[in-house]
C-alpha cells in the first residue's frame, strides 16, 4: 500500500485527507508543522509527501530542501492557493513534482497523487543485469524514457524551430544547454534529443541539481568509496558511471557548487571521473545536456557558474519560449492535454468553449505547459458535459485576466463576469456545505481571510 505524509497546519484538511486517502487505499500519516513532518520522515519511508506551501514554522522552499536531504527520492506535491501559483511553480526548481490548488477536489487529488507516484517510481532504482560486470545485478537509477513517446511538437513557429534544432543536434555528440522558464518542457526536449541520438537504448538520467542537497551532490554525481566520509557505508556509483554510454541531463546547472563544477569540467575535457575517496580514475562516455531557467550569462557574470564550464557546455543552445509568447501553441496543447485528461479520467470531455479558449490564450502562464496541463486536468474533472465552460477554470484566469482579453467584445464582458461570479459563488457554497457552514474553516479552505469571505457572502447574497 503506497504511503503518504500530509504536512498541513490545517487540522481539518489533514483529517479530511486522511479519511478519503485511506479509503482509496493509501497509508496516511499527518504532521501539522514542518518540524513535525521532518521528524516523521526520519523514522518512516514514504512514497509521497503532500505539503502545504505556507506552514507556520518554515517556508516551503526551505522545507523542500530539508526533505530532500533526508530523502532525495520521495515524490512531493505542493498544496497552494491559486493566487500563489507563481510562487508554487518556483518550487519545481527545488524538487517538487507537482502542485494542487485550493480548494482541493478529491478526484483531482487522487489523479495527481497516482500520476506523481507512478512517474516518480519510474525514475527510481531499478535492478539491471550488467553484462560488463559479469552479469551481476546492480542497483541503478535510470529514467524511463518511454514518456518521450508523448513529446508533442507545437504548431507555433518557435516550436517548429525547436524540433528542427533537436533533429539537428541529436545525432551529434555535442553538449547542449536548454534554457527556458519552468515548465516550458526542457526535460522533454532533453529526452527527445536522447531518443533521436545514437545513445538511445543506453541510460538517460535526469539529475535535478537544484534539488540535490549540496552535501550529497558530489557523491550523487561522481560516486564514493566506502569510508570516504561519515555515512559512506559502502562503495557507490555516481550518476556519471550509471549513465555511461548514455545521456546525463543536469537540470538547474547554475546550482552546482564550485568544487563540483571543476569536477564536471574535468569529465567533459578528459572523459574521466574519480569517485570521492578513490585513487583511480574511471573512464566515462556520457553526453551532457544541461538546463537552466536563469540567464546563464548573468549567472557567469555573478560568478556562480565558471566561465570555462559554461563555454564547454554551450556547444549548442536551445532556447524555449514562454508559452504566453507562442500563443498558437496554447490552444493546441490545451486540446492535447484535454484529450489526455479525458481518457485518463474516463470522461467524454472533448471541447473547449470559445470563451474558455479566449481566456486561456490571454493568461500569463507562469508555470507554462505544466500549469496549462494542471488547469485542463482540473477543468476536465469539473466538467459535466462534453465542453469545458468558463466555470471550470480557476477564478484567477477568468477574473484577473479580463482586462487582457481584447477579443472579447465589450458587451460580453458583463456576461463573462457574471459567469465567473457564478462559479465563485458555487465554490463558496460547496465549501460552506463541506464544513457545515463554519465560516472560519470555510475561509481557510478557500484561502481567503474571514473579512473577505463575509464581503463575498454579502456580494453573492449567501445567507447560511
Ligand atoms: N513537448 C511536450 N509535449 C507534451 N507535454 C509537454 C511538452 N513539454 C512539456 N510538457 C508538459 O509540461 C510538463 C513540464 O515539462 P518539463 O518537466 O520538461 O519542463 P521543464 O522546463 O524541465 O520544467 P522545470 O524547469 O520546472 O524542471 C511535462 O510534465 C508535460 O506535462
Q: Any idea where the domains of the chain sit in the sequence?
A: 3-122, 125-319, 330-459
Specify the CATH class of 125-319 in words: alpha beta
Distance (Å) from CA 52 to ligand 1 centroid = 23
Question: What mean pLDDT do residues 301-310 have?
Answer: 91
Q: Which atom of ligand 1 is nearest to the CA of 251?
A: 27
CB atoms within 10 A of CB 162: 24
pLDDT value of residue 127: 37
Q: Tell me the per-residue pLDDT of 104-144, one tens digit each, with 9 for 90 and over.
A: 888 889 989 998 998 887 765 443 433 344 333 333 444 54
Residue list, ligand 1 pocket, CB within 6 Å: 92, 150-152, 180, 182-188, 251, 293, 369-370, 373
The CA 221 to ligand 1 mean position distance, Å, reads 23
Which residue is closest in CA terms to ligand 1's atom 29?
370
Cα torsion 43, 48, 49, 50: sign: negative
In this prediction, residue 128 carries a pLDDT of 40
In this prediction, residue 422 has a pLDDT band, given cuts at 50, 70 and 90, of low
Mean pLDDT of 409-419: 43
For residue 202, the cross-strand partners are 200
Cross-strand partners of 302: none
Position 420 scores a pLDDT of 60
Measured in angstroms, how far is the CA atom of residue 371 from the centroid of ligand 1? 10
Substitution site in 187, 340, 368 for ligand 1 pocket (most atoms within 8 Å of beta carbon): 187
Residue 185 Cα, ligand 1 centroid: separation in angstroms? 3
> If DSSP codes are grouped into helix, strand and coil, which group holds residue 14?
helix
Protein residue closest via CA to atom 24 of ligand 1: 182
Residue 284 Cα to ligand 1 midpoint, Å, equals 29
pLDDT digits (tens, 9 = 90+) for 177-221: 999 999 999 999 999 999 999 999 999 998 888 777 777 888 889
Decide if 363 contacts 410 (C-beta within 8 A).
no
Selection from 51-60, 118-127, 331-340, 394-403 with the highest mean pLDDT = 331-340
Q: What is the ipTM of this complex?
A: 0.98
pLDDT value for 298 = 87
Nearest CA to ligand 1 atom 31: 370
What pLDDT was estimated at residue 147?
45
pLDDT of 198: 94
Which pLDDT band holds residue 174 (cuts at 50, 70, 90)? very high
Residue 401 vs residue 16, higher pLDDT? 16
Nearest CA-CA partner of 300 in 256, 264, 240, 249:
256
Confidence band, pLDDT 50/70/90 cuts, at residue 401: low
pTM of the model: 0.76
Q: Which CATH topology does 330-459 take?
A: Helicase, Ruva Protein; domain 3 (1.10.8)
3-122 and 125-319 share one fold: yes
Highest mean pLDDT among 144-158, 302-316, 419-433: 302-316
Please state which of the ranges 58-62, 65-69, 212-216 shows the lowest mean pLDDT.
212-216
Task: Report which protein residue has its CA nearest ligand 1's atom 23.
Answer: 183
Q: Residues 6 or more apart from 384 whose CB is under 8 A from it?
A: none
What is the pLDDT averaged over residues 413-438? 69
Question: pLDDT tens-digit profile of 71-94?
Answer: 888 999 999 877 777 777 778 878
- pLDDT category at 464 given cuts 50, 70, 90 is low
In this prediction, what percent of the chain has a pLDDT beyond 90? 51
- Count of all residues that appear for the chain in the document: 464
Residue 406 has pLDDT above 80, yes or no: no
Closest approach atom of ligand 1 to CA 369 = 12
Residue nearest to atom 6 of ligand 1 (CA): 185
What is the pLDDT, as a whole number, of residue 400?
56
> Hey, how many other C-beta atoms are within 10 angstroms of the C-beta on 364?
17
Average pLDDT over residues 447-460: 79
Give the model's pLDDT for residue 152: 93
Q: Which of 254, 188, 263 is nearest to 220 (CA)?
A: 263
Residue nearest to atom 26 of ligand 1 (CA): 182
- 3-122: CATH number: 3.40.50.2300
Best residue for ligand 1 mutational test, from 293, 366, 370 (most atoms within 8 Å of Cβ): 370
Amino acid at each position: 500500500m503506497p504511503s503518504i505524509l500530509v504536512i498541513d497546519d490545517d487540522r481539518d484538511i489533514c483529517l479530511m485527507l486522511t479519511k478519503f486517502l485511506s479509503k482509496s487505499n493509501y497509508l496516511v500519516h499527518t504532521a501539522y508543522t514542518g518540524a513535525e513532518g521532518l521528524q516523521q520522515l526520519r523514522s518512516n519511508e514514504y512514497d509521497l509527501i503532500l505539503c502545504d506551501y505556507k506552514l507556520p514554522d518554515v517556508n516551503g522552499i526551505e522545507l523542500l530542501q530539508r526533505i530532500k536531504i533526508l530523502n532525495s527520492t520521495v515524490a512531493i506535491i505542493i498544496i497552494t492557493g491559486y493566487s500563489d501559483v507563481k510562487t508554487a511553480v518556483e518550487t519545481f526548481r527545488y524538487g517538487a513534482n507537482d502542485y494542487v490548488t485550493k480548494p482541493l477536489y478529491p478526484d483531482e487529488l487522487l489523479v495527481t497523487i497516482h500520476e506523481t507516484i507512478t512517474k516518480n517510481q519510474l525514475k527510481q532504482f531499478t535492478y539491471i543485469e550488467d553484462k560488463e560486470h559479469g552479469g551481476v545485478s546492480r542497483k541503478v537509477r535510470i529514467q524511463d524514457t518511454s514518456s518521450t513517446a508523448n513529446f508533442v511538437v507545437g504548431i507555433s513557429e518557435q516550436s517548429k524551430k525547436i524540433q528542427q534544432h533537436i533533429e539537428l543536434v541529436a545525432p551529434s555528440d555535442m553538449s547542449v544547454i536548454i534554457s527556458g522558464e519552468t515548465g516550458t518542457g526542457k526535460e522533454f526536449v532533453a529526452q527527445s534529443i536522447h531518443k533521436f541520438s545514437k545513445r538511445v537504448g543506453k541510460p538517460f538520467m535526469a539529475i535535478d541539481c537544484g534539488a540535490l542537497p549540496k552535501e550529497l551532490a558530489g557523491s550523487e554525481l561522481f560516486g564514493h568509496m566506502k569510508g570516504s566520509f561519515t555515512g559512506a557505508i559502502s562503495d557507490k556509483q555516481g550518476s556519471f558511471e550509471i549513465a555511461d554510454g548514455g545521456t546525463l541531463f543536469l537540470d538547474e546547472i547554475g546550482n552546482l557548487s564550485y568544487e563540483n563544477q571543476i569536477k564536471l569540467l574535468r569529465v567533459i575535457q578528459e572523459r574521466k571521473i574519480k569517485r570521492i575517496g578513490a585513487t583511480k580514475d574511471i573512464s566515462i562516455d556520457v553526453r551532457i545536456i544541461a538546463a537552466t531557467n536563469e540567464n546563464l550569462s548573468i549567472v557567469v557574470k555573478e560568478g556562480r557558474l565558471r566561465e570555462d564550464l559554461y563555454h564547454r557546455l554551450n556547444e549548442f543552445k536551445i532556447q524555449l519560449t514562454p508559452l504566453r509568447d507562442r500563443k498558437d501553441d496554447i490552444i493546441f496543447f490545451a486540446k492535447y492535454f484535454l484529450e489526455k485528461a479525458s481518457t485518463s479520467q474516463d470522461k467524454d470531455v472533448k471541447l473547449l468553449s470559445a470563451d474558455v479558449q479566449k481566456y486561456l490564450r490571454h493568461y500569463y502562464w507562469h508555470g507554462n505547459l505544466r500549469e496549462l496541463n494542471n488547469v485542463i486536468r482540473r477543468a476536465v474533472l469539473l466538467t459535466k458535459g462534453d465542453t469545458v465552460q468558463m466555470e471550470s477554470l480557476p477564478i484567477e484566469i477568468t477574473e484577473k485576466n479580463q482586462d487582457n482579453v481584447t477579443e472579447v467584445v465589450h458587451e460580453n464582458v458583463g456576461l463573462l463576469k457574471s459567469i465567473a461570479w457564478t462559479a465563485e459563488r458555487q465554490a463558496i457554497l460547496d465549501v460552506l456545505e463541506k464544513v457545515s457552514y463554519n465560516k472560519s474553516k470555510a475561509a481557510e479552505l478557500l484561502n481567503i481571510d474571514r473579512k473577505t469571505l463575509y464581503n463575498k457572502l454579502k456580494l453573492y447574497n449567501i445567507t447560511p
